[in-house]
Structures are given as C-alpha cells and as structure tokens.
Amino acid sequence: MKRRDWRFLRGFVLFSLLAFGLLQLWPRNHTNPPIVSVPNWDNAQTAEMVQRACFDCHSNETHWPWYTDIVPVSSLLEHDVEAGREVLNFSDWETSCCTDEQIERMAAIVGRDQMPPPYYVLLHPEARLTSEERGKLIYGLIATMENELDEE
C-alpha cells in the first residue's frame, strides 16, 4: 500500500472511532415505569414461563444488560421494548388485557415460534421454550385471560 493510502485509512479509522465515541453520548431511556396492575395467573408455571420468555419486552420489569448502553444497540432495544409494551404489557394488565382477538393473536404468535424472537433467544437462552412449554404457555395465557374476562 502506498503511504497516501495508509494515511487515508488511518484517518478513516480515527474518524470512525471518534464518531462511534460521540454517538455514545446520545441519551438513552432505560427506565421501567411503575407496575400498575398484574395478571391473576392461572398457575405458577404460567407466571414463570411468561417472566422468563416475555417480561423483558412485555412488562415494566425490563432487565437492561450492559450492551443496551451501547449505541446503536440501545436505540434498537428501546424501540423493541416500547413496541412490546404497547402491544401487551403484563405490568399494566388492566389496560393491556383482554380481547378475544388478542388471545387468538398471542396464541398464534407463540405457537408459530415467533415469540420470543430468535435474536432475543440467542442472547437469552433461558427464554427458549420447548414445544411442550409453548403448548403449556399458550394454554396458561388463554386461561389467565379468560379468567380476567370472566371477572369483568
């Protein structure tokens, strides 16, 4: 490589590192709002599976690991958590629950192995659900939501 090419490469690398460093100053919103209301779970096993596989995105009890402080990862995960809480929030259950359409949608998504998402399971292997656990989770979520509908 020519000397001029090395200078350009070095300048590009330094600029990239500086830009990456400055991006880390971007404000992050890793907050967990207060817990407003929680489901009356049909059993402890359903509660455990939901906490293990769903709570990081679908509750106000999100665990924010160290890598969520690194831009652009932090922005992507904040967006995922906000979107997840908007669709279904186990910590604001009275607002989040319960319609027949929501029950059907949740059962279909969990049944098709779309939740938890593959990239989440890659970083959180404890969230992986076996086929048997998936079936039990769907049954437990339906029972929990139907109990809520019966109480209304």
Confirm whether 119 is domain-assigned.
yes
| Contact present, 35 and 133 (Cβ < 8 Å) | no
Confirm whether 14 is domain-assigned.
no
Summarize pLDDT for 68-115 with one digit per residue, the tens: 888 888 888 899 999 999 999 999 988 877 777 888 888 899 999 999
Confirm whether 60 is domain-assigned.
yes
Q: How confident is the model at residue 48 (pLDDT cuts 50, 70, 90)?
A: very high
CA-to-CA distance for 114 and 106, rounded, in angstroms? Answer: 10
Confirm whether 20 is domain-assigned.
no
What is the count of structural domains for the chain?
1
> Reduced to 3 states, what is the DSSP secondary structure of residue 136?
helix
Domain region containing 108: 28-151
State phi, psi for 86 to the nearest 5 degrees: -70, -40
| Contact present, 28 and 81 (Cβ < 8 Å) | no
Q: What average pLDDT does range 48-56 have in this prediction?
A: 96
Confirm whether 73 is domain-assigned.
yes
Q: pTM, whole model, 2 decimals?
A: 0.78
Q: What average pLDDT does range 133-147 have in this prediction?
A: 90
In this structure, what token pair is assigned to residue 61? 């009890």
Angle, CA 26 vertex, CA 24 and CA 32 arms, to 5°: 105
CA-to-CA distance for 39 and 34, rounded, in angstroms? Answer: 15
